[in-house]
Amino acid sequence: MKAVFSDSFYPVYTSDPAAAAGRMETISAAFPSGTQIVQAEAATQKQIALAHTDAHIRGVQNRGLYDIAALAAGGAVQAARTGLSEPAFAAIRPPGHHASSDSSWGFCYFNNMAVALLALRSEGLIDTALILDFDLHYGDGNVNILGNRSWVHISNPDEGSRIRYLEAVDKTLADHPVSIIGISAGFDNHREDWGGLMETEDYRTIGARVRRAALDNGGGCFAILEGGYNHSVLGQNVAALMEGMSAEP
C-alpha cells in the first residue's frame, strides 16, 4: 500500500494538538511492512481555490501557514488519485475536515478532502464520491463545501456502541456505490483517545470493508489523516486501517 508523506510534516507549526511534537513520528514508525512512501507535493493555488475563497487563502497565507497547509492538501490529492487504482493513505497534517470554504477551526486550515475530490472531479476522473468521516468530531467543513453537491454523499457515524457504529458503516457503504470512497480518518474516537469508543481492530475492519465496497463498485478508495491525539496508540490505529485497506478481500 502507498502512503503519501513528507518529513516536512514532522516540525511543529503551531501550538495545537494536531501539530504536537512526536505525533507524525509515531505514525511513520508504525507504517506496515511493505508500505511504499510517496513524497507529498503541495497543492496548487488553483486546486485549493476549488474549495476555498480567495479571502480564506490569503488569511492562511497571512498566518504563515500556507506552505504546510498546501502540502497537506496536495498529499490528499495524491492519495485520492492513487486510490483510483490501489488503496492509499495520506499521512498529512494539518487536518482539514473543519475547514469550510471561507473559514476554519479545529486545527484545520484547508479542507484536504474537499480539495482532493474537487480536483479529481475537475479532471474528469470521478463521477461520484462517498466521504466516510469516522473522526470523533462532525466534519462540518466537508459538509459546508461538498454537502450540497449531488455527486457527493457524506457520512459521519455517531452511534454510541461499536457494533451499531460498524453496522452504520456497512449500511452507508451498501447504499452508496460510488466512483471513489474517501475516508476522513480521525482516530480520536479510540477507547484510549478523547472519544473512548472504538477498538484498534475496528479500524482494520472498516478499512477492509471500504476496500471490499470499492472493489464491488469498480471504484477506488483512499484515506487521509484527520484527528487522533494519544501518541501511544495513534500509530497502531493508523496501521490497522492501512492493513485493512490493503488486505486481499
CB 87 within 8 A of CB 211: yes
Domain count, the chain: 1
CB atoms within 10 A of CB 25: 13
pTM for the whole thing? 0.97
> By residue range, what is the domain housing residue 190?
2-246
> Would you state the pLDDT for residue 149?
98
Q: Enumerate residues 6+ apart whose C-beta is below 8 A from 54.
A: none
Residue 98 is a catalytic residue: yes
Please write the tens of the pLDDT for every residue from 22-55: 999 999 999 999 999 999 999 999 999 999 999 9
Catalytic residue, from 98, 153, 176, 190: name it. Answer: 98
3-state secondary structure of 176: coil
> Would you state the pLDDT for residue 31?
98
Q: What is the CATH number of the domain that holds 109?
A: 3.40.800.20
